[in-house]
Structures are given as structure tokens and as C-alpha cells.
Amino acid sequence: MSEQGRVINYGDAGVEALREEMRRDETIVYIGQGIGARGGNFRQTRGLWKEFGDHRLRDTGICELGATGVAIGAAMAGTRTVIDEVFLDFALEAITQIVQQAANISYMSNGKIKAPVVIRGAMGAVRNAGAHHSHTFYNWFANTPGLKVVLPSNPYDLKGLFKTALRDPGPVAVIEHKSLYNTKCVVPEEEYLIPFGDARIVREGTDLTIIAMSRMVDLASKAAAALDFEGISAEVIDPRTIVPLDRQKITASIKKTGRLVVIDESPSSCSFAAELLAIAAEDCFDELQVPPRRINSLPVPNPFSPVLENQMIPTVERIVAEIHSMMKSAKRKA
């Protein structure tokens, strides 16, 4: 990302990506709850309804199964559709449409039918919203062949990846984090696209590799900065997309540093962190100096209590403590 230029927030970056692509491609339509005149629960479509009207932004009732089915059917019929599940949690109401239909139709029709649909949703623990509105199960989508999965961690990446998703010939899940909507960074006014499968090295390091997704990238960066004061050089990598995954850049970093820590807001069992540890074992076993570690949320429903939720999800302090433990373990082994 550029060091100088126009600064906008995450929410505005998503709106800008949509506006540019909807002006460029008249086949793009947007479907979801409250995304019309109101501009969305997170202001993720503000101003678009006024410009494009009801025929391009269609407000729906609270029925994710029906709305997602309509969006996927419309995509099969020749439009390019965005279905906004608003809270990612409620994409589960429509999971059969996403997994059974959108992800499979191109293969099952021998390429004769495409489903260029973007499944958009906001995930994650924020403002103690409780167990129904705080899930981070992006790894479930990554387990679905035929579906690409995008996890933008900052406004620059959201705009560039969203625009790429809106031009993709198949279904793409663009999964945002609710806590990021007001975060800011430099986003160019000129057009740019970010290709899928191109991880970003957030900061370079030599002593260990930290891989983090979505909101956890910011926590990983803060932990790396704290460790730097102690003489521990951490390389931080943001995969940006987990399907496709930039396996080459990830394994090159692990081989360079010999240590791996993965920060993941999902619980550890069957998580994407587990997948990254498996990749490290398969591709970097001889270079690993100590067993890799994953730092996940605790395996409990998201508590409504602020104190309990803060204990459940990874924190900068917990990340630093885990890395201290790893580095001491490495010294004992040496």
C-alpha cells in the first residue's frame, strides 16, 4: 500500500468498489436486507440506491434462503449478482443454495451455466453482539470446491479484491469483519485490482512467521511491533484470499524463519489455522525449528459479556505471550 494519498475507511472503500463496477457493468445487481434507501446495517451500500434505483439494488425481506436463491438464479440467467447476507451468521440459512447450487453449477453443467455471484457478509466479534451475530466460520466456505473465499483486512484490499470478485466468472465469498468498517488507510482514486491468490507481506522478519486473517492481521502487526522492541523479528503475512491460497509465498516465509504462528479468530478445531499448520508440516518440515502454533478463539459460543468475550478471542498480549513461550522452547531445544 502507498504511504501517501487519499485516506478513506473500510466501509467507504467497499461502496466505492461497488459504485465503480456498477457504472462499468450494467448487469450487476445487488440484493439484500436494508441495502436500499437505508444504505445497509453497516452503511455498506450508502448512496448507491439513490444513483442506481430499485432495479439495481433490491431490498428484500428477512429470508436469506429465498434471497440467496433469487440471486444465484439471476446470476445463472445472465446478471452478475451480489447477495448481501449482512451478518455472515445468517448465510447458514442459505447454505444449501451456496454450497449445492452456486459452487457446483458450472461443473455439473460442463461449463454451460455460470454463477457469477458474490456472497457478501460481515463476520466477527464486535460490541458484544452475542452468539447469533459473531461467528467467524469463513473456513467452512473454504471447504467448498468451486467457491473462492476473500478476507480483506484493510480498506485498500477490500476495494481491490471486491472489484476482482465482481469480475470473476464464478461464485466468490467476500467476507468482511464488522470491527473494520471504520478503519482507515490510503486508497488510490485511480482504478486498481488485486488478484486472488496473492498474499501480502505486511512486515518482513527473520525469526518467525506470523500468518493472520482479517481483523487478526492488525493484532498480529501490533504484536510484531511489540516483539521488535525485544529483539524478536517477526514476519507478518496476510493471505488476503484463502481460496485460492498463496501457498508459495507462505511456505517461503516459513522456510526462511523456521517458526510459524497462526492467528485465527475461529475456534481451533478444523480451523483454517489447522490447514496452515498442515501445509507447514507438508512443505517445511525439515526447516521447522519448533512445532508450529495456532492461536485461536476458545471453543465456546460468543458470550454477550464484554469481559468473557475479551477472554475468548485472541489478544495482542496473548499472542506475545505465546511467541515468548515458543522462543524459549526453541532455545531449550538448541
Q: Which residues are catalytic?
A: 133
> What are the helix and strand counts (H, E) for the chain?
12, 14
Cα angle 48, 50, 55; round to 5: 80
Q: Say whether the peptide bond before residue 188 is cis (omega within 30 degrees of 0).
A: no
User: First vs last Cα of the chain: how many Å apart?
Assistant: 38
Q: What is the 3-state secondary structure (H, E, C) of 221-273?
A: HHHHHHHHCCCCCEEEEECCEEECCCHHHHHHHHHHHCCEEEEEEEECCCCHH
> Could you tell me if 246 and 198 are in contact, meaning their C-beta atoms sit under 8 angstroms apart?
yes
Contacts of 50 (CB under 8 A, 6+ apart): 37
- Written as one letter, the residue type at 96 is T
Instruction: Please give the Cα distance from 173 to 254 (Å, whole number).
Output: 27
Q: Which three cell numbers stand for residue 137?
A: 466460520
One-letter amino acid at 49 equals: W
* 3-class state of residue 137 by DSSP: coil
CA angle 14, 16, 19 (to 5 degrees): 110
Please, are residues 319 and 262 in contact by the beta-carbon 8 Å criterion?
Answer: no
* φ and ψ at residue 179, rounded to 5 degrees: -75, -10
> Cis peptide leading into 291, omega within 30 of 0?
no
Q: At which residue does the C-alpha cell 515458543 appear?
A: 326
